[in-house]
Amino acid sequence: MSDSGFPTARPRRLRRTAPLRRLTTQVRVEPADLVLPLFVKEGIDAPAPIASMPGVVQHTRESLRKAAVEAVEAGVGGLILFGIPAHKDARGSAADDPDGIVQLGLRDLVAEVGDRTVVMADLCLDEYTDHGHCGLLTETGDVDNDATLERYASIAMAQASAGAHMVGPSGMMDGQVAAIRSALDSNGFADVGIIAYSAKYASAFYGPFRDAAECAPQFGDRAAYQEDPGRAVDEAVREAELDVDEGADIVMVKPAVGYLDVVRRVRDAVSVPVAAYNVSGEYAMVEAAAANGWLDRDRAIRETLTSIKRAGADIVLTYWATEAATRLLRD
């Protein structure tokens, strides 16, 4: 009995059966909440498996279209495209080439799925530069922030011209959202949105992605411009607020699982939707553990996605998007 004399409530009553748990759950992951990252590579004639990301491939243009249709038919809310060019140089010329692989891939996606989903493009230079850094370099090998912003503006216009509904600046340059927003607005693309990688940490969990996108730095690392995992969450919140002030329509935290506290704080601080990127290393850990029989793969995927939503993310970028939408979220 409680102090009031009434019988004590027992939360376990609502956990007793699967229908009760389903009826009373407070956090639901819906297919429309998910965004599927896709890689398209120039010069291959069959999808190329990525060893460190079982089940994920570098797509041909043809297989890219097929994967997009499967995702859309499953109800996935969006697609985000990463391009891998055949030729790389110091300024990442392929990134804004109208006939570059990512622009061709965007046109393919728009032609195939049209307005049935949100077509996004990652906007950075690391996939296109021969040095693997996210911007233009000075003579001393440092990233030149302001010169890089000019490249980002040009890339944004190329991606918008190819049909992207949203562009995703991921290089963590100061002022990148403002530069891109200004370029889009001034060139007839005011309706193209920006999903900003606002709190992108210098993380070990990007390793498999760098295999997929073939973008590992050829020297040094990206710690000078990505966020320090050891800094207080206030810095990430400030980055997100700055991006909103500069014109971001959605802000993102990356990675997700190790940074759920950041997701929560950013969600509480901003009025725009918040995305979280369930990154390649987080994906690979579950896949590797499941392959060894160390955990229940389906439960681990559901739990991972639920935890990200519970922390406050409105949108989750995940390599499991199509599978989760097709099967796991409907069981």
Active site residues: 200, 254
Say whether 246 sits in a helix, a strand or coil: helix
DSSP count for the chain of H helices, then E strands: 11, 10
HSE-CB at 12 with a 13 A cutoff on CA atoms is 1
Provide the b/e sequence for 194-205 (b: ≥16 CB within 10 Å): bbbbbbbbbbeb
Single out the residue of 316, 326, 331, 330 nearest to residue 36, CA to CA.
316
Single out the residue of 225, 227, 176, 224 nearest to residue 203, CA to CA.
227
Answer yes or no: are the C-beta atoms of 176 and 154 closer than 8 Å. Answer: no
Residue with tokens 């920006």: 194
Answer yes or no: are the C-beta atoms of 67 and 80 closer than 8 Å. Answer: no
Answer yes or no: are the C-beta atoms of 299 and 320 closer than 8 Å. Answer: no
Name the residue type at position 323. E
* CA 25 and chain centroid, separation: 26
Helices marked H in the chain — which ranges?
Answer: 18-24, 61-74, 101-113, 145-161, 176-186, 207-213, 233-246, 260-269, 280-291, 297-311, 321-323
